[in-house]
Amino acid sequence: MPADVAAYAEKGIRNPQRDTWQSHHEPRMSVITHAVWRGHTHASIRDLIAPGGPWHDGLGRAYQRYHTRADDALGRDITKALNWLSTNLPKSHPPRHKTQNSPGGQQQGRGPCGPRSLREWLANAMRWADHEYAGKRVRWTVHAVLQALAYHAVTSGEQRSGVWLTGVGGRSLSLATGLLSPDTVWRVLADLRERPGSPIVLARHHVGLDADTYALTRQNIVTNDPAHAQRIRIEPVHPAWFILGHHLRRVHELITDHGLTRKADIYTAAGIPRSTGDTAIADLQTAGLVTTTGRGTVAPGPTTLDDIAAAHHLAEISHERAELYRTERTQWRDRLNHQTPQPHPTEDPETIEQPYPVTAGHNDHDDHDAWLDSVMATGPPPMDDIALEREIIDMTTELLGARIISPVPGAVTAT
């Protein structure tokens, strides 16, 4: 284990030269990740941070703020570490063979990435968006937001009873959506929450510094085809699509990441018509990302997304946005901390300055009786024809199961 990680595990000392260790969360997760990587389990780490254990004064102290829920917090961190390791270790430790369980061959593209359950959710969510936003350009923006939610679920969320939960704000999501603006992300989330069969459910509204928590559900299963999940990667959207346009992203990923070469297969997998696909291929060829290899076949081009990002200085733009969002969050935190505190329940009500005159309270019951008598004396207001018609429709719907049938366009009605 690295020296600075071991120092935090044993004594809780943060290395000031580690720029990424802005709070106790980062070194704590670093210790957990190194421990899990080296074979430690939940039980063994629990023993290490217990009183008398070698990590009690360091890592153990970091969990003391959770009080009785410290063990639950430890379990969540271990799950996050396992997800991170399963996603990133294959990149730095490739298999010895070109394809798994095979004596040879060559795999086209990078292939799928991320937990299978989350890839199945994202594949189903994107198919749902294909049908829900068919013919609309916002469809590709919705794809980016859904992928960003999946990425934050695997990096900072948790899984409960088979459902992934992620609490993330619009600014953090915008950085993972290929530099979409926070306003665009918020509008997409608001629209998704209101649509029937949506793949996301607002599980908990934001409170203070805690962002909205979303449940990534499969209540509306659109596809069970395993091929769709095999063509999903749980990762941030590349910022180069901020320049190229998100409508080209799916076609490019099917070619470069998943090895599809025939145009007909690419268009079918992307769920787009031939004319739209041909236009996308032409735009990608112009950018150098795709090249034609034959009649109806394509392959990755000489230019990469990183080349485009470097040419447009997108790394600097991303860094500036991250700094801006960090400043805005700091201002929001300061604003919450400086809000006027509410009076303590044990304080004497007579000593609390009231914003409006307060009545004695001994005659509250009499005032209520007087108000009730005045209301009952006049009776309810008369019901207009529209309200009466609505009440009749509601009664027939509830009691008889009736429903309103829209008139057929062009039908001839009797006069």
The highest-confidence range among 8-12, 67-71, 161-165, by mean pLDDT, is 161-165
Mean pLDDT of 357-378: 61
Q: Report the CATH number at residue 287.
A: 1.10.10.10
Question: Same domain for 124 and 231?
Answer: yes
- Of 25, 54, 89, which residue is a domain's last? 89
- Of 191, 211, 236, which residue is a domain's last? 236
Question: Same domain for 142 and 40?
Answer: no
Contact 150, 83 (CB under 8 A): no
User: What backbone phi and psi angles, to 5 degrees, belong to 112?
Assistant: -70, 160
Contact 203, 216 (CB under 8 A): no
Tally of domains in the chain: 3
The pLDDT-based confidence of 106 (bands split at 50, 70, 90) is: very low
Whether residue 314 lies inside any domain: the answer is: yes
Whether residue 388 lies inside any domain: the answer is: no
The DSSP bridge partners found for residue 233 are 113
User: What backbone phi and psi angles, to 5 degrees, belong to 340?
Assistant: -65, 125
Question: Same domain for 52 and 25?
Answer: yes
Whether residue 348 lies inside any domain: the answer is: no
Query: Position of tokens 């400043």?
Result: 327
Question: Same domain for 116 and 226?
Answer: yes
- Residue 354 confidence (pLDDT): 46
Token duo for residue 264: 């007909």
Question: Same domain for 274 and 334?
Answer: yes
String of DSSP letters for 152-210: HHHHH-EEETTEEEEE--HHHHHHTBTS--HHHHHHHHHHHHHSTT-SEEEEE--BTTB
Question: Same domain for 83 and 162?
Answer: no
**What is the span of the domain harbouring residue 262?**
238-339
Question: Same domain for 243 and 331?
Answer: yes
- Residue 39 confidence (pLDDT): 86
Whether residue 345 lies inside any domain: the answer is: no
Whether residue 101 lies inside any domain: the answer is: no
Question: Same domain for 129 and 197?
Answer: yes
Whether residue 147 lies inside any domain: the answer is: yes
Which string of b and e fits 141-155 if b means at least 16 CB within 10 Å? bbbbbbbbbbbbbbb
Query: Is a pLDDT exceeding 60 seen at residue 348?
Result: no
Spell out the residues 6+ positions from residue 250 whose beta carbon is closer than 8 angstroms to its own. Answer: 140, 143, 270, 272
Rounded Cα gap, residues 251 and 263, in angstroms: 9
Query: Position of tokens 């929450």?
Result: 193
Rounded Cα gap, residues 180 and 326, in angstroms: 17
Query: Is a pLDDT exceeding 70 seen at residue 205?
Result: yes
Question: Same domain for 255 and 232?
Answer: no
Report the DSSP pairing between strands 163-167 and 213-216.
antiparallel
Query: Position of tokens 């379990």?
Result: 75
Q: Mean of the per-residue pLDDT values for the chain?
A: 83
- Of 221, 236, 251, which residue is a domain's last? 236
Cα R_g (the chain), whole angstroms:
29
The pLDDT-based confidence of 383 (bands split at 50, 70, 90) is: low
Query: Is a pLDDT exceeding 90 seen at residue 404?
Result: no
Whether residue 62 lies inside any domain: the answer is: yes
- Residue 361 confidence (pLDDT): 47
CA 142, distance to chain mean position in Å, is: 11
In tens, the pLDDT along 116-129 reads 999 999 999 999 99
Contact 291, 261 (CB under 8 A): no
Question: Same domain for 122 and 220?
Answer: yes
Question: Same domain for 73 and 184?
Answer: no
Counting Cβ atoms within 10 Å, is residue 252 exposed (0-12), middle (13-18) or buried (19+)?
Answer: buried
Rounded Cα gap, residues 412 and 415, in angstroms: 9
pTM of the entire predicted model: 0.59
Token duo for residue 355: 């914003």
Question: Same domain for 212 and 246?
Answer: no
Which is higher by pLDDT, 241 or 112?
241
Whether residue 15 lies inside any domain: the answer is: yes
The pLDDT-based confidence of 411 (bands split at 50, 70, 90) is: low
Query: Is a pLDDT exceeding 80 seen at residue 399?
Result: no
String of DSSP letters for 194-256: HSTT-SEEEEE--BTTBPPEEEE--SS-----HHHHHT-B-SPBPTTHHHH-GGGHHHHHHHH
